Amino acid sequence: MSTGTAADDQFYREYILDHYKNPRNFGRLEHPDISHEEDNPLCGDVVGMDFRVKEGLIEDVRFHGRGCAISQASASLLTERLKGMALDDAKKIGKEDVLGELGIQISPARIKCALLSLKVLKVGAYGLASDDEDEE
């Protein structure tokens, strides 16, 4: 009954669908140290992240948002990686890391969806860093 090609199933791999339907670390943190949200107006994807940071370590992270499977699964996967990570290390996460973790071929039209959560992390993390420096 399935007309799906292997490519379909490869694109929407089980674990991506799983992260989309059962997102990890979904929700908001009370009194986060960093909170940032970005959207992709072209398709209406929204991803926001809240971080609690203690002594340079990401103690807790939550994401919220709505959008396509790629943007939401990518955000969910990223939060799993971020928990317990040093903020400085988090800043070094690159496009290749995120795309690699998704583990699927992303067409040029969907790259923005896949990288939306990384943008949230980068803008959020660097924003906090500059605030810290101001205080010192």
Nearest Cα to 16, choosing from 73, 68, 56, 101? Answer: 73
What ranges in the chain are assigned the alpha helix state H? 6-11, 14-21, 69-82, 87-91, 95-102, 111-135
Q: What's the rounded Cα separation, in Å, for the pair 50 and 65?
A: 12
Should residue 22 be labelled a site residue for another protein when binding is judged by CB under 8 A?
no
Instruction: State the nearest-atom distance from the C-beta of 22 to another protein, in Å.
Output: 13
> Quick check: 104 binds another protein (CB under 8 A)?
no
Length of the chain: 136
| 12 contributes a contact to another protein by CB under 8 A | yes
Q: How far is the CB of 61 from another protein (least distance, A)?
A: 23
Pattern 41-70, binding to another protein, x per CB under 8 A?
xxxxxx-------------------xxxxx
Q: How far is the CB of 28 from another protein (least distance, A)?
A: 20
Q: Which of 43, 40, 45, 82 is nearest to 60 (CA)?
A: 82
* Cα distance between residue 77 and residue 82, in whole Å: 9
Q: How far is the CB of 87 from another protein (least distance, A)?
A: 31
Pick between residue 6 and residue 130 the one whose CB is nearest to another protein: 6
- Closest to another protein by CB, 86 vs 111, is 111
∠115-118-121 over CA atoms, to 5°? 155
Footprint of another protein (CB under 8 A)? 2-5, 7-9, 11-12, 17, 21, 41-46, 66-70, 107, 110, 113
